[in-house]
Amino acid sequence: MAYNILIVDDSTPMRAVIKKVVKASRFDVGQFFEAANGIEALKILNQEWLDLVLTDYNMPDMDGLKLVEEMKKDEELKSIPVVMITTEGSRERVEEFMEKGVMDYIKKPFTPEQIKQKLMQIIGETEDEERTPDNGDEEFDF
């Protein structure tokens, strides 16, 4: 199954890096969508079918945590898994993320292996299942 992923980060280069790393991780992606903050993300979420949201925390206009709060208020959006990609690593902050409904978090800086491991955990698949011969891994250039 290919997953549609929304990447939310105010840094264009960082969105490009995340996209590149997700591709390199061989995670099965259908389509990427991008937003520069929580407000833009909500617009896209209300227009497109998304399977997963990868969001930065520290952004202007609407940060990642506020985005999660808004998604949790919406019946259509509240079940979409959200992963926070953040420099914030304190235990208290991570607990706050989880309490607000963030499914998991990835600490910056990250490697492709870390990204893939987290995404696999979230989708509930194993690496072995992902790498079966029929799943189209060859499409990914890494």
Binding-site residue total for other proteins (CB under 8 A)? 24
Give the position of tokens 């079940």: 79
The span of 44-52, 73-81, 101-109, 122-130 binding other proteins (CB under 8 A) equals 101-109
12 lines the binding site for other proteins (CB under 8 A): yes
User: By C-beta, is 18 or 80 nearer to other proteins?
Assistant: 18
Q: How far is the CB of 54 from other proteins (least distance, A)?
A: 15
Residues within window 105-124 making contact with other proteins, judged by CB under 8 A: 107-111
92 lines the binding site for other proteins (CB under 8 A): yes
Query: Which residue from 128, 136, 110, 135 is spatially nearest to 22, judged by alpha carbons?
Result: 110
CA 93, CA 10: separation in Å to the nearest integer? 20
The span of 4-12, 75-83, 117-125, 134-142 binding other proteins (CB under 8 A) equals 4-12
Query: Which residue from 50, 40, 72, 43 is spatially nearest to 5, judged by alpha carbons?
Result: 50
Q: How far is the CB of 16 from other proteins (least distance, A)?
A: 5
Residue 81: asked if its preceding bond is cis (omega within 30°), the reply is no
DSSP state of 62: S
User: By C-beta, is 45 or 88 nearer to other proteins?
Assistant: 88
The helix or strand, by DSSP H or E, that contains position 69, with its residue range, turns out to be helix 64-72
Residues in CB range of 119: below 8 A, 6 or more apart: 22, 25, 27, 52, 83
126 lines the binding site for other proteins (CB under 8 A): no
Binding site for other proteins (CB under 8 A): 10-14, 16-17, 20, 58-60, 86-93, 107-111
